[in-house]
Chain A
């Protein structure tokens, strides 16, 4: 590669890195506890909760919905989800069907008694870390901004790989020159740690970018893929809870339409995950791969009539698979631990990169405007 081309790549590496480093560092630091959020939540939850009637029958979903609305009389239901390890139904409600995240209320109910399950600490430290990690408390613009930072990270990775070659022309893979100068030592660590984590960080970075696009992706699906279902309704208002048909009957129809799938959650009409007039009943497959892919059955929320069951388009499936590949929660605790180690390695790459930039500015302010210094073809690998 020509020296001038390399110089361009080095400028790309320098600027993309400089812009995104502070944010990626924040994402790595907040992401670290989030990898273990299940374990941390379980440890923080000191209540030894037991269902009221462990051997009793499960109450109907309509009863559970009534219980949730009695608990929040001025709210409408938005989502209903189901714990897999205990008879608990979770209901998210809000003042209006299109309530923002901040206005939503999440509560869990005992499906054997209809009573509120204590223990969900809203606004706890893990919620704070999650908000910081997802959107820095700035909503959609914050999410999209972090997505842009993730994209810059991707360009920094690609340019870093290109620059790896001239630095390694005369060095064996993995060489760490620790005894000559601090700069050389951290340069070698930056190159080694960076190059071994390329695949993992690219996947975690790009799936993170896809996750930041979840709102536009789901909006596109709702307005494009479900448009034909709402044609006959004109401008009918979103049905109120009192106007809604039986949720149990709706779910039973969905399960009958997909007997080999498992119920995951229900989205109520008027929210982001359904039309203004349907229950969207989401089911997932039962194999390792398909359990991440959700498919909705749509049931008219007033009449209770089954409308359709339709596979999600490719962009929603991409979003679904981007979840586990970003969170690292799909291969047990060993995978989470590896995720954490690779996250810490990434933090070292970011800090050494920053150090190399600062050290060079100090050593030679005149050339500091240029990109990463590249060893020339003829001279030794003097940085």
Chain B
């Protein structure tokens, strides 16, 4: 807990920056494949891979 107490309280902007970024990329991914094929499909795969990759990243880098 000491570690947490020393740290300053985060603002809502700091708390939600990463989640909003991930949500926007997910939405771009959800829509891209609906709007076209080829490059649009790739945008879609990358966009929706972001939430999955973030989980993998947190399990490696943010485990305490």
Contacts of B52 in A (CB 8 A): 196, 338, 341-342, 345
**CA of A339 to CA of B37 in the docked complex: distance in angstroms?**
18
Interface residues of B in 11-62 (CB under 8 A from A): 12, 15-19, 22-24, 26-27, 30, 32-37, 40-41, 44-45, 48-49, 51-52, 54-55, 57-59, 61-62
Contacts of A164 in B (CB 8 A): 15-16, 19
Interface residues of A in 304-349 (CB under 8 A from B): 321, 324-325, 330-332, 334-335, 338-339, 341-342, 345
- Asked if residues B1 and A197 are in contact (CB atoms below 8 Å), the reply is no
> Which residue in chain A gives the minimum CB-CB distance to B28?
A199
Contacts of B37 in A (CB 8 A): 288
Whether A168 touches B15, Cβ cut-off 8 Å, given contacts A176-B59, A289-B34, A330-B34, is yes
- Asked if residues A196 and B41 are in contact (CB atoms below 8 Å), the reply is no
Render A177-189 as a binary contact track against B, CB cut-off 8 A, 1 for contact.
1110000000000
**CA of A332 to CA of B32 in the docked complex: distance in angstroms?**
12
Contacts of A196 in B (CB 8 A): 19, 22, 51-52, 54-55
Contacts of A203 in B (CB 8 A): 27, 30
- Asked if residues B18 and A173 are in contact (CB atoms below 8 Å), the reply is yes
Whether A380 touches B1, Cβ cut-off 8 Å, given contacts A179-B64, A335-B44, A342-B48, is yes
> Which residue in chain A gives the minimum CB-CB distance to B24?
A199
Interface of A is mostly: helix
**CA of A256 to CA of B15 in the docked complex: distance in angstroms?**
57
- Asked if residues B34 and A198 are in contact (CB atoms below 8 Å), the reply is no
Contacting residue for A200 out of B7, B10, B26, CB 8 A:
B26
- Asked if residues B55 and A170 are in contact (CB atoms below 8 Å), the reply is no
**CA of A292 to CA of B54 in the docked complex: distance in angstroms?**
32
Contacts of B16 in A (CB 8 A): 164-165
Contacts of B59 in A (CB 8 A): 176
Contacts of A331 in B (CB 8 A): 32-33, 41, 44-45
- Asked if residues A176 and B26 are in contact (CB atoms below 8 Å), the reply is no
A100 close to chain B: CB less than 8 A = no
Most interface-central of A172, A199, A335, A338 (chain B CB within 10 A): A199
Give how many A residues have a beta carbon under 8 Å from the other chain's beta carbons. 44
Count the A-B residue pairs with Cβ separation under 8 angstroms: how many?
A: 122
Contacts of B45 in A (CB 8 A): 331, 334-335, 338
A192 close to chain B: CB less than 8 A = yes
A169 close to chain B: CB less than 8 A = yes
A382 close to chain B: CB less than 8 A = yes
Whether A193 touches B55, Cβ cut-off 8 Å, given contacts A170-B10, A198-B23, is yes
Contacts of A330 in B (CB 8 A): 33-34
B63 to chain A, nearest CB (A): 5
A8 close to chain B: CB less than 8 A = no
**CA of A292 to CA of B18 in the docked complex: distance in angstroms?**
33
**CA of A350 to CA of B61 in the docked complex: distance in angstroms?**
24
Whether A199 touches B1, Cβ cut-off 8 Å, given contacts A175-B62, A176-B59, A338-B49, is no
Most interface-central of B5, B36, B48 (chain A CB within 10 A): B48
**CA of A88 to CA of B9 in the docked complex: distance in angstroms?**
65
A171 close to chain B: CB less than 8 A = yes
Whether A335 touches B41, Cβ cut-off 8 Å, given contacts A178-B63, A288-B34, A380-B4, is yes
Render A344-383 as a binary contact track against B, CB cut-off 8 A, 1 for contact.
0100000000000000000000000000000000001110
**CA of A288 to CA of B41 in the docked complex: distance in angstroms?**
11
> Which residue in chain A gives the minimum CB-CB distance to B61?
A174
Can you list 11 A-B contacts with CB-CB less than 8 angstroms, sorted by A residue number?
A169-B10, A170-B4, A171-B4, A196-B19, A196-B51, A196-B52, A197-B51, A331-B32, A332-B33, A332-B41, A342-B51
Interface residues of A (CB under 8 A from B): 161, 164-165, 168-179, 192-193, 195-200, 203, 287-289, 292, 321, 324-325, 330-332, 334-335, 338-339, 341-342, 345, 380-382
What 10 additional pairs, Cβ within 8 angstroms, besides A178-B64, A192-B58, A200-B26?
A174-B61, A196-B54, A197-B51, A199-B51, A288-B34, A338-B48, A338-B49, A338-B52, A345-B52, A380-B4
